Amino acid sequence: MRSARLHFLLWPWFTALLVMIPFTAASESKSAPQARPQNEHTPKAIVLPQGILKILKADPDSGSDCAGSPSDYSAWVMNLDGSVPEIVVQGRGTCLCSATGNCAFWIFKKTTSGFKTVLATDLVQDFNFKNTRTNGYRDLVTSAHGSISDSELRVFRFDGTRYRLKKCYDKRYMYPMKYPKITPEPCPQL
């Protein structure tokens, strides 16, 4: 009797999971910009360098009032321009991220005098460096989670000095569509 009751209670959850698996597994469009880690260019995770932590603590717009240690950030080494590797940094925790998991995000370039910020933005849940390049640097697509069916994609390109926001898209999953509908939208003024 007890196992029948447990089976009755768990069956709706199990059925819902089985129904959702095909939609999540086949939901990526091949032609639209995507914010996913790449297989061939997987970033190498590192501990946040102290020089970058010092820059973040000194910047009032970086959440410096609540981020005091390298463990407040995720950091990766990536070679975006084929020369000196860059440090990609994403905030962690409730102070540097929203409740939906969209976090502060930076890219730093190593210079002879320390580190230089080449991108500082927010609302990043996922990111993907594309194989396309602008001014020698790989283009960047970020994704911000809006709801269960809606995300915002942002395309950043390097202008010779820093990454700049160039294009924005709304990415919406609508039942029974196999792939998301991605439509251009005006970019916010950052």
Reading the block at residue 183, the tokens are 């439509």
Around Cβ 15, how many Cβ atoms within 10 Å? Answer: 10
Percent of all residues in the chain with a pLDDT value above 90, rounded to a whole number: 50
Mean pLDDT of all residues belonging to the chain:
80
Type of residue found at 117 = T
- Which range in 50-64, 141-155, 172-186 is most confidently predicted, on average pLDDT? 141-155
* Whole-prediction pTM: 0.75
Rounded to whole angstroms, the Cα distance separating 37 from 25 reads 16
What order of strands is seen across the sheet that includes strand 150-158? 126-134, 137-145, 150-158, 163-172, 181-184
pLDDT above 80 for 25: no
